[in-house]
Amino acid sequence: MAEKPFESSSSSESSPILLASSMDTTPLRKLLHGISEFVVSSSTCGKKTAATRGRRILHRDVEREEFQYGGGGSGGGGGGGHCLSSYYSVFVARLAIMVMLAILIGLLTVLTWHFTKVYTTKSLNTLAFGLRYELLQRPILRMWNILNSTSEITTAQVKLSEYVIRRYSKPTNQAEQVELYEMMKDITWALFASRKALNAITINYKNGFVQAFHRDHRSNNTFYIYSDLANYSISSTESYHNEMLSSRKGWNDQFIHGNVSAIWYRQPLDPVTGEKKGKPSQIPPDDLINIAGPSQVPDGVASWHVSVSKYTDSPLLSAALPVWDATNTNIVAVVGVTTALFSVGQLMKELVEVHSGYIYLTSQQGYLLATSTNAPLLKNTTKGPKLMMAVDSDDRVIRMGAQWLQEAYGNKFPPGHVVHVEKANLGGQHYYIDSFFLNLTRLPMVGVIIIPRKYIMGKVDERALKTLVILISASVCILVIGCVCILILTNGVSKEMKLRAELISHLDARRRAEASSNYKSQFLANMSHELRTPMAAVIGLLDILICDDCLTNEQYAMVTQIRKCSTALLRLLNNILDLSKVESGKLVLEEAEFDLGRELEGLVDMFSVQCINHNVETVLDLSDDIPKVVRGDSARVVQVFANLISNSIKFTTSGHIVLRGWCENPNVCSDSGKFSPDQKKPLSALKTKLKQHGNHTKKAGKKDNKMILWFEVDDTGCGIDRSKWESVFESFEQADPSTTRTHGGTGLGLCIVRTLVNKMGGEIKVVKKNGPGTLMRLFLLLSTPADGVEQQGRIDFSKHSVAVILALHGSMGRMTMLKWLSKNGVPTLEASEWNELTQILHELFHARTLDSGFDTHYSLAEPMRSKVQSLQEMKNSVYIIVVDLGLLDLSTNIWKEQLNFLDKFSGLVKFAWMLNHDTSNAIKMELRRKGHILMVNKPLYKAKMLHILEAVIKESYVEPQNRSPNGTKGTSKEGDSHECLEIDSTQFETCSSDDSDETAGASSISSVHIREESREGTILKSSPSTLRNCLVEFTRLGLDQCNTRPKLHNTEDIKPENPDSPEQPSVRSNAKDRITNEPKSLQGLRILLAEDTPVLQRVATIMLEKMGAVVIAVGDGVQAVEALNSVLDNDNEHRNNQVETEICDSPPYDLILMDCQMPMMDGYEATKAIRKLEERTGWHIPIVALTAHAMSSDKEKCLKVGMDAYLTKPIDYKLMVSTILSLTKQSSP
Amino acid sequence: MDLVQLQRQLVDYRTSLYHEGFLDEQFTQLQSLQDENNPDFVVEVVSLFFEDSERLLNELSKALEQQVIDFKRMDAQVHQLKGSSSSIGAHRVQKLCIVFRNYCEAQNVEGCLKCLQQVKHEYGIIKTKLESMFQLEQQILNAGGSIPV
């Protein structure tokens, strides 16, 4: 099977194969032959099936191979054509390897077989040849011996006969004649008896008398045979002699056979003694043995021949010698000796018994003389037994051997008749045939030995065959396995290659995609300025337009609509830009301290307005352990929560939205107190815990002030399907596509949230929630300032015996507040509606409620009652009732009566009113009139509550100051805070800028919020620095005049556009007011303007001069530095000359406006130089950068070199003024 | 000519300038800065702009004719042009300057040349437009009228 493709191969790779096949052709042929011969049917079938099985396994390969070799097989190669083209190279490689393997294995097999077989055969053959030679030599030797002994006997007989006949030569009478014969008989007997092997001795006298001894080996009898003496006359001897002389030929035959008249007698003898045992009996001539006559010695020399007799079944060897007379001229008698060749046959048989095989001797003519078999050597014919030719032998093998020899050599035997044939095929079997020639003068003989090959080489052949079969099957197996292995290996390799190629292409594609996405992001990031500026312009212009009084209502509506759309567009733009900024890696998070709690409170304030319309409650639930001040990017943190909350609001139609926050701290978290602090825990334990916590944070702050802050935004909206929990954070992804219609939005919000959160080292995910809605949980990694983690000086409320009654609508907020209060040791009661409140009041102040018109039949639940009672027991306690304005029935006029009812308790309790943002002025007025001065806007959260409590406590101490217009309230923290109620919001803005730039974003948010709420809110919350103190409003009627400010609501939709210039919109409107009110706001300021572009220089100069500032303009950075330097030098002189330190104290310029890109020396360099100069003096002249770049990185760069603020070109008039004001205010108040 | 008609013509003309994007709100701001103290402020600034721009444009043309083009310097010049044009509110020129700068950054000579041509073209247009507007204003002033805002 294996060599088939080799032989049939014709493709390019076939040359080595052909070589190999031609090299191996003979052994392979033999092999094939041997196999086909040996394995007849069954095993061949088995092999075929095995082969077909192998074929099936290697089906594909075989097909390919066949295809490759040009249809060497069964022509199934056409099918694989199409795949061939694609995998051509792989196939070629595979095939080459397989072919190599096949060649190797084939060679190995053949060589192994050859070496094992050939050498054995050779040595065995040598041995076998010796054996055969030896075997044949022995019967031939025996033959030789027999011949020798026969000839010896004959010669002895002749010599004796000669001697006797000479003695009795010329017998004269009958008596002498008889005596002679008697003598001869004795002598002959002696000789005959001495040789047992002799068959017969005959003496034929000249006169025709015959004496013979004969031994019948079969019957073991010995006979003496003689002719009738009476018939012979001595006289006839002479004539006979003469006759003989004249014509010797024909004498004897005539004499013996023709002489029918002669009477023959046979006398049995004792074989040992030779004595006569019986009477001589006459025998017919037929029974005569061979008697040598003169005819057999025609030349007078010895003659040999082979004869047969009917007494023995083996051929006889006869020798005849003449007996000469004394003169040696006449033959007087002929002596014949006959020996049976039986013993040779016997020897042969013995030999053959030991070594198998056949031996036979033939005469040169081919007559069989002796064989090793029992087959008869003679054939009976009508004329008696005759010698048989070897080719006619009864024995099959001998016959066939003889025939084979005859066929092979015919009559032309090689010289010496020596033939050695190793593989003669006789009747389907192999034999060794060897023949030797025994060249006797008269009787040449040929010995042939036939030994079956099986006897000598049988085992070898068998072994060789077995070895071959095993070798071939092993080779085939190895080949098959090897091919399969190669196939698998190359398959694996090619698969791996393919996969690798795919992977590479994928990576490539991904890289390209990333690159292109990066380009996009960068493009967008670069475009930020170009995109935002026009939008800002559009919105600003629209604002101006809206302010215009001459618009018709329709126009106004349209413009408002445009305004809204623009705002939406700007928001979208901001989102996209934010995202791209983050993606392009341009977003740099600021690292500044900010008050996290305050930011979030502002956020909740802002959103609660939106929520109230939706009938959704917004609750802020920050745990106490959250550090007050953290470091980070406040604007971004706020953005995260703003996005999350606005998202929640979008999907929540009723219920609540809770923003929870807690700090990851093993101490605090372990009691799982974040949501439900254990109320039963003793207060002291809680306090120690807090203390511990404080210590802990302090310690942590020293080592590593990073903190993990956890937040949750929990809403009761429609919820998000579990499968979308991950994908909602992808770009442009909303949980339900249909929501886009109902809720709007771009789906960018959450994506921005996640990128921002990730950027801040946190994570965000949606977590499982009990009940409807969504619960988003995130953590941020914010650092706390190393030094500023001291716990706020908190009033210990438990000492002040304060009790709170929470009469609020929203259950969530109420509950949260309740928990917090209880945790801090403030006994609390809760009421969710008016009736409940009255009930509690009734219980608490029993006497008073009797005359209440609102007395109810409504009894309190048992636990509440017990609580009330426990409250009652607290003596001298201050009761604070936090009343939601919504509890009052505002739809009708009942609320006034309700107020009246509550008024009755005013002496006993303090009321704190929770106002809605849209609470009408009338109600507020009424409340104030009634003396309810504690009013806060919804929602109620920790800080507000804290301030209510603080206020009440302080009030209770400083009673008289309470109602003074400039109420000192809780504002002792900042000396100027009493002003804050009067200064307008612009100043708050500037204040905030003074504070730190980083809080600008937050302040802008709150300032946005300002406009959404009523005027009080505006003032109270506008400035983060004063927010805390203003949260609680001590109502002063005088404040109402502030409410008259018009148009502020118009900007309510303005969002912080950009952290770079967050104040822009809010300040703009304020500045606008300012411009109209006090045009010379920059009066007296000296400003150095460094600007190279003449146009800009001129414009800026005019702008500033219009504001009353003194402007010194220079053309580049060098001039700017020089201008300062010269003043400084002058200044130094001044100092030398004058004692007056007025100029010394104040820098030459109040402010420097610095263009960033200038020839000679750019703004950055100039700033650095100026700052260096300043080192000597200790001044800090505010430097404001003017640049056309809008990126945050530019801002960063500006601030880094020591500039204080940053303005973009084209110069926005109002923004510039406000910036300058904020900066100069600090340095020159 | 009728004063009122002249005034209306001026207003229309100015509106069209805004409308077609030749001018933007910066010009409005510029105008608002003009008062009794600086009666010719706008004209002054605009002529400053003309001078500066012509200088810059000449330099740019020269720079582009050079064998070795100093793109960095060109970039700075275009930046200046952009600054001054944005300051007077020459909106189209400013826009073109942005494109021009991109080409400068990319060191694209052809793009720069094309942009320079466009900038020159736009500059020519805004110059004529502004000049004719000033002429109108002058006419109105001469006729004893006041310039409508």
Condensed to tens digits (0 to 9), the pLDDT of residues A205-218 reads 777 778 888 887 77
C-alpha to C-alpha distance for A785 and A630, rounded to whole angstroms: 6
A985 band by pLDDT with thresholds 50, 70 and 90: very low
What pLDDT is recorded for position A368?
80
Which DSSP string do the residues of A1151-1166 spell out, in sequence order?
EEEEESS-SSS-HHHH
Residues in chain A closer than 8 A to B92 (CB atoms): none
What pLDDT is recorded for position A504?
92
What pLDDT is recorded for position A613?
67
- Of all residues in chain A, what percent carry a pLDDT higher than 70? 64
| A1106-1162 residue pLDDT tens | 778 888 888 878 888 888 777 766 655 554 544 443 444 566 788 888 887 777 777
C-alpha to C-alpha distance for A606 and A620, rounded to whole angstroms: 12
Which one of B33, B52, B98 has the shortest CB-CB distance to A1093? B52
pLDDT at A971 over 50: no
C-alpha to C-alpha distance for A277 and A287, rounded to whole angstroms: 19
Q: Is B40 on the interface with A (CB under 8 A)?
A: no
- Best residue of A1093, A1104, A1208, A1217 to probe chain B, by most B CBs closer than 10 Å: A1093
What pLDDT is recorded for position A506?
92
C-alpha to C-alpha distance for B127 and B125, rounded to whole angstroms: 5
Sign of CA dihedral A1012, A1017, A1018, A1023: negative
C-alpha to C-alpha distance for A17 and A716, rounded to whole angstroms: 82
Residues in chain B closer than 8 A to A528 (CB atoms): none
The ipTM estimated for the assembled molecules is: 0.77
**How many other CB atoms are there within 10 angstroms of residue A437's CB atom?**
17
DSSP reduced 3-state for A1034: strand
| A772-793 residue pLDDT tens | 888 888 888 888 776 544 444 4
A238 band by pLDDT with thresholds 50, 70 and 90: very low
Residues in chain A closer than 8 A to B87 (CB atoms): 1093, 1095-1096, 1099, 1209-1211
CB contact under 8 A, A1099 and B33: yes
Q: Is B41 on the interface with A (CB under 8 A)?
A: yes
What pLDDT is recorded for position A416?
64
Please name the residue of chain A whose CA is at the shortest distance from the CA of residue B38: A1102
C-alpha to C-alpha distance for A564 and A559, rounded to whole angstroms: 9
What pLDDT is recorded for position A736?
61
pLDDT at A484 over 50: yes
**How many other CB atoms are there within 10 angstroms of residue A386's CB atom?**
14
CB contact under 8 A, B84 and A1093: yes
The shortest C-alpha distance from A1095 to chain B (Å) reads 5
User: Residue A36 has which token pair?
Assistant: 């086909």
Q: Select the more confidently predicted residue: A293 or B97.
A: B97
C-alpha to C-alpha distance for A412 and A719, rounded to whole angstroms: 118
Q: Is B48 on the interface with A (CB under 8 A)?
A: yes
A870-875: average pLDDT:
63
Domains and CATH numbers, chain A: 587-664+704-781 (3.30.565.10), 799-845+865-955 (3.40.50.2300), 1084-1129+1145-1223 (3.40.50.2300)
Give the best-scoring range by mean pLDDT among A262-266, A375-379, A1060-1064, B58-62: B58-62
Alpha helices in A430-552 (DSSP H): 453-547
Q: Which amino acid is at A400?
A: M
CB contact under 8 A, A1094 and B84: yes
DSSP reduced 3-state for A227: strand
Half-sphere exposure of A244 (CA within 13 A, CB side): 27
Average of per-residue pLDDT values in chain B = 84
Q: Is B38 on the interface with A (CB under 8 A)?
A: yes
- Best residue of A530, A544, A1098 to probe chain B, by most B CBs closer than 10 Å: A1098
Which one of B33, B82, B84 has the shortest CB-CB distance to A1102? B33
3-state secondary structure A329-386: CCEEEEEEEEEECHHHHHHHHHHHHHCCCEEEEEECCCEEEEECCCCCCEEEECCEEE
What pLDDT is recorded for position A872?
64
Q: Is B105 on the interface with A (CB under 8 A)?
A: no
Cβ neighbours for A641, distance < 8 A, ≥ 6 positions apart: A600, A603, A659, A711, A713
Q: Select the more confidently predicted residue: A380 or A334.
A: A334
Q: Is B50 on the interface with A (CB under 8 A)?
A: no
DSSP reduced 3-state for A313: strand
Which DSSP string do the residues of A606-638 spell out, in sequence order?
HHHHHHHHHTEEEEEEE-TTS-SEEEE-HHHHH
CB contact under 8 A, B87 and A537: no
Measured at the CA of A1169, the angle between CA A1164 and CA A1174, to 5 degrees, comes to 125
- Of all residues in chain A, what percent carry a pLDDT higher than 90? 1
CB contact under 8 A, A1094 and B52: yes
Q: Is B24 on the interface with A (CB under 8 A)?
A: yes
Which stretch of A4-18, A280-294, A784-798 has the lowest confidence by average pLDDT?
Answer: A4-18
A960 band by pLDDT with thresholds 50, 70 and 90: very low
Which stretch of A33-37, A83-87, A391-395, A540-544 has the lowest confidence by average pLDDT?
Answer: A33-37
What pLDDT is recorded for position A860?
53
Q: Is B29 on the interface with A (CB under 8 A)?
A: yes
CB contact under 8 A, A1093 and B45: no
Which one of A541, A1157, A1209 has the shortest CB-CB distance to B76? A1157
pLDDT at A505 over 90: yes
Q: Is B30 on the interface with A (CB under 8 A)?
A: yes
Which DSSP string do the residues of A148-180 spell out, in sequence order?
HHHHHHHHHHHHHHHHHHHHT-S--SHHHHHHH
CB contact under 8 A, A530 and B24: no
Is-contact A755 A729, C-beta < 8 A?
Answer: no
pLDDT at B114 over 50: yes
Measured at the CA of B138, the angle between CA B137 and CA B140, to 5 degrees, comes to 65
What pLDDT is recorded for position A503?
92
| A360-390 residue pLDDT tens | 888 777 788 778 777 777 777 666 667 777 7
CB contact under 8 A, B84 and A1096: yes
Chain A residues with CB within 8 Å of chain B CB:
530, 537, 540-541, 1092-1096, 1098-1099, 1102-1103, 1106, 1155, 1157, 1159, 1188, 1209-1211, 1213
Q: Is B96 on the interface with A (CB under 8 A)?
A: no
**A1128-A1131-A1136-A1142 Cα dihedral, nearest 10 degrees:** -140
| A994-1010 residue pLDDT tens | 333 333 333 333 333 43
pLDDT at A950 over 70: yes
Is-contact A124 A132, C-beta < 8 A?
Answer: no
DSSP reduced 3-state for A427: coil
Alpha carbon B146 to its chain centroid, in Å, reads: 24
Average of per-residue pLDDT values in chain A = 69
- Classify burial at A329, counting beta carbons within 10 Å of its beta carbon; exposed 0-12, middle 13-18, buried 19 or more: exposed
Please name the residue of chain A whose CA is at the shortest distance from the CA of residue B89: A1210
A427-446: average pLDDT:
76
Is-contact A297 A330, C-beta < 8 A?
Answer: no
Domains and CATH numbers, chain B: 3-32+41-142 (1.20.120.160)
C-alpha to C-alpha distance for A207 and A204, rounded to whole angstroms: 8
C-alpha to C-alpha distance for A921 and A423, rounded to whole angstroms: 137
A507 band by pLDDT with thresholds 50, 70 and 90: very high
CB contact under 8 A, B45 and A1095: yes
What pLDDT is recorded for position A285?
63
The shortest C-alpha distance from B17 to chain A (Å) reads 17
Is-contact B80 A1092, C-beta < 8 A?
Answer: yes
Is-contact B15 B76, C-beta < 8 A?
Answer: no
Question: What does DSSP say about strands A264-269 and A281-283: parallel, antiparallel, or unpaired?
Answer: antiparallel
pTM reported for the whole predicted model? 0.38
Q: Is B75 on the interface with A (CB under 8 A)?
A: no
Alpha helices in A652-708 (DSSP H): 666-669, 683-703
CB contact under 8 A, B83 and A1188: yes
| A1036-1081 residue pLDDT tens | 333 333 343 433 343 334 344 344 434 334 333 343 343 444 456 7
| A1140-1155 residue pLDDT tens | 434 445 667 888 888 8
C-alpha to C-alpha distance for B67 and A1161, rounded to whole angstroms: 27
Q: Is B80 on the interface with A (CB under 8 A)?
A: yes
Cβ neighbours for A203, distance < 8 A, ≥ 6 positions apart: A157, A161, A184, A188, A210, A211, A212, A323, A333, A334, A335, A336
Q: Select the more confidently predicted residue: A700 or A957.
A: A957
What pLDDT is recorded for position A87?
61
Sign of CA dihedral A780, A785, A786, A788: negative
What pLDDT is recorded for position A958?
56
CB contact under 8 A, B86 and A1159: no
pLDDT at A921 over 80: no
- The distance in angstroms from the start CA to the end CA of chain A is 109
pLDDT at B85 over 90: no
The shortest C-alpha distance from A1099 to chain B (Å) reads 7
| A512-564 residue pLDDT tens | 988 887 787 777 666 766 777 777 788 878 888 877 777 777 888 888 888 88
Q: Is B98 on the interface with A (CB under 8 A)?
A: yes
| A1205-1220 residue pLDDT tens | 878 776 777 788 888 8
The shortest C-alpha distance from A544 to chain B (Å) reads 12
Distances (CA, A) of A792 to A170, A661, A933: 183, 18, 26
Half-sphere exposure of A29 (CA within 13 A, CB side): 6
Is-contact A1146 A1228, C-beta < 8 A?
Answer: yes
Residues in chain A closer than 8 A to B106 (CB atoms): none
Q: Which amino acid is at A359?
A: I
- Best residue of B72, B77, B87 to probe chain A, by most A CBs closer than 10 Å: B87
